Amino acid sequence: MVGYDPGVQGAPLSPKEAAFAGSAAGMVTRALISPFDVIKIRFQLQIERVSSKTPQGKYYGIFQATRCIHLEEGLSAFWKGHIPAQLLSICYGAVQFASFEFLTELVHQKTLYDSQTAGVHFVCGGLAACSATVVCQPLDTLRTRFAAQGEPKVYRNLRHAVSTMWRSEGTLTFYRGLSPTLMAVFPYAGLQFFFYNIFKKLLAPQPEAGNSGGNLKSLVCGSGAGMISKTITYPFDLFKKRLQVGGFEAARAHFGQVRSYRGLLDCMVQIAKEEGFRGFFKGLSPSLVKAALSTGFTFFWYEFFVNAIMTVNEHNKTTMKSIQQQNNTT
């Protein structure tokens, strides 16, 4: 069960419960998909063409990049920036799902629209993701910096990264790439919830009331929704990553060519001129794998934890009723 459903028996999820389920889902998912995220970011930041047929840059294929990173930086490199990434996932999941549950319930109570339609989920999902993005953007920037740096490391740890960036680049550096992020995240998250809603209804036209469906069906529907959404909105994710590493060129030099961009429009123009249309989709392959796993696992674990919360709540209700009955009889 994702979003407010008036047909479900019992009390709806409270904001705290939705936040807990969302943060737990984000934490578990992040630990599983971190290696794909590191590979995707390396591809996105590479100026040279990513092609196994005519290799020009340091990385030119998923398996080649995996071997290269493992040989040069060790297995732990696939979890570079994992602490800020985990903080990002926990925070983002909590804000996104709490906002989504709140907004869908608000739609049901204040409008004539059905809170369980795909269109409502698109709008509410996009707005919820924008809220989470504004709150969590500094953590996303830190995660990108850690994943992008090679050896020797520029930032020793999270505290060192925050203090260095604050002193040398100012407060606004933590919100670099926010414009393309918001432009991308609304349709991306909206489409995730939109297609997840559609796929769940196609696979289960008449779901049982109260069944939150934390099972393989959720994983499959989430994976499909994630891949479609990511393909449609991918260029904006690439623009965001390029802008987030602005001022970080020295640490990127040994990976290949580096570029500086004055803003979103300049970034788009330079990529189009130097790298062509395919440049907007660098790193799409590992990103699709990551999107399928990330979105699939996020919805899977979210529904799993929601189901667990509802089971505990129902058990507590039953226990309280039995205690009251015993007290009344005595």
* 186, part of any domain: no
Cα gap 224→228, rounded to integer Å? 6
Residue 1 or 63, more confident: 63
What average pLDDT is seen over the chain? 84
Q: Is the pLDDT of residue 76 over 70?
A: yes
Q: Is the pLDDT of residue 321 over 90?
A: no
Residue 142 or 54, more confident: 142
* 290, part of any domain: yes
* 319, part of any domain: no
In this predicted model, what pLDDT tens digit does every residue of 84-118 receive, in sequence order? 778 889 999 999 999 999 999 999 999 999 999 99
Residue 218 or 209, more confident: 218
62 plus 92 within the same structural domain: no
50 plus 39 within the same structural domain: yes
> Which pLDDT band, with edges at 50, 70 and 90, does 34 fall under?
confident
Nearest CA to 116 among 99, 136, 100?
A: 100
Cα gap 235→35, rounded to integer Å? 21
What is residue 304's predicted lDDT score, i.e. its pLDDT? 92
In this predicted model, what pLDDT tens digit does every residue of 265-316 receive, in sequence order? 998 999 999 888 888 888 788 788 888 999 999 999 999 999 899 888 888 8
Tokens 């049901």, located at residue: 108
170 plus 86 within the same structural domain: yes
> Which pLDDT band, with edges at 50, 70 and 90, does 10 fall under?
low
Give me the number of domains the chain comprises: 2
* 33, part of any domain: yes
DSSP per residue, 88-140: HHHHHHHHHHHHHHHHHHHHHHHSSS-TTSHHHHHHHHHHHHHHHHHHHHHHH
The burial of 70, by beta-carbon neighbours within 10 Å (0-12 exposed, 13-18 middle, 19 or more buried), is given as middle
Q: Which residues span the domain enclosing 300?
A: 14-80+283-311
73 plus 122 within the same structural domain: no
Task: Give the chain's length.
Answer: 330
Q: Is the Cβ–Cβ distance between 242 and 268 less than 8 Å?
A: no
Cα gap 232→319, rounded to integer Å? 49
**Measured CA distances, 99 to 36, 93, 172, 203 (Å):** 27, 10, 25, 26
62 plus 139 within the same structural domain: no
163 plus 90 within the same structural domain: yes
What is residue 205's predicted lDDT score, i.e. its pLDDT? 55
CA dihedral over 191, 94, 222, 6, signed as positive or negative: negative
* 203, part of any domain: no
* 122, part of any domain: yes
86 plus 71 within the same structural domain: no
61 plus 126 within the same structural domain: no
In this predicted model, what pLDDT tens digit does every residue of 130-141 receive, in sequence order? 999 999 888 888
Distance between start and end Cα atoms, the chain: 40
* 161, part of any domain: yes
> Which pLDDT band, with edges at 50, 70 and 90, does 252 fall under?
low
Cα gap 241→244, rounded to integer Å? 5
Cα gap 324→230, rounded to integer Å? 52
**Measured CA distances, 89 to 6, 19, 83, 138, 309 (Å):** 29, 12, 10, 12, 20
23 plus 91 within the same structural domain: no
In this predicted model, what pLDDT tens digit does every residue of 161-212 receive, in sequence order? 888 889 888 888 888 878 878 887 999 999 999 999 999 989 875 444 444 4
71 plus 91 within the same structural domain: no
> Which pLDDT band, with edges at 50, 70 and 90, does 237 fall under?
confident
Q: In the chain, what percentage of residues exceed pLDDT 70? A: 89
Tokens 């392959």, located at residue: 285
Tokens 């960036």, located at residue: 165
> Which pLDDT band, with edges at 50, 70 and 90, does 127 fall under?
very high
158 plus 88 within the same structural domain: yes
What's the token pair of residue 106? 């608000």
What is residue 176's predicted lDDT score, i.e. its pLDDT? 82
**Measured CA distances, 224 to 81, 89, 231 (Å):** 27, 20, 11
Buried b (16+ CB within 10 A) or exposed e, 180-190: bbbbbbbbbbb
Tokens 């123009």, located at residue: 269
> Would you call the peptide bond into 152 cis, given omega within 30 degrees of 0 as the criterion?
yes
- The residue type at 38: V
Cα gap 144→139, rounded to integer Å? 9
Tokens 């570079």, located at residue: 80
Cα gap 155→136, rounded to integer Å? 20
97 plus 165 within the same structural domain: yes
Model-wide pTM > 0.75: no
What is residue 207's predicted lDDT score, i.e. its pLDDT? 46
* 207, part of any domain: no
